[in-house]
Amino acid sequence: MVIQKERCIKLTFKDIGFRGTYHRFWAMDFNDTIRKSCCEFPNFEKADCVLLYGYIDHNAGTTMEVVACGRRNDKLFNFFDAPTDRRSFIRIGAIENETIYSLDDTVSELKAKYQKKLQ
């Protein structure tokens, strides 16, 4: 799935708080934490970013599910297929100061493509 970067807002999780992450899609560039969490995802070797989906884990707090790996350039995000046989999660504290991209106006497209993963 290809998303124009101009449609995205650049933020940090620390700026938006946990309510801002709930049931929303985000893109984030690789860092060490992200890289380790998705090294067995489809097309990992081509990727430099990930698609994340936020929710609240009532035992562990604000959590981001790593939905799929992706590739980005100055104008586009291109997200690959989600893995069907594994899941990966990142607690918000591990990435709260990282730069992220809000994908709010692409929600219906992303939900349609990744609906099986989000169930």
How would DSSP label each residue in 2-63?
EEEGGG-EEEEHHHHHHHHHBT-EEEEE--HHHHHHTTTSTTGGG-SEEEEEEEEETTTEEE
pLDDT of residue 99: 87
pLDDT along the chain (119 residues), means of 10: 67 77 87 90 95 87 91 88 90 87 77 81
Judge if pTM exceeds 0.85.
yes
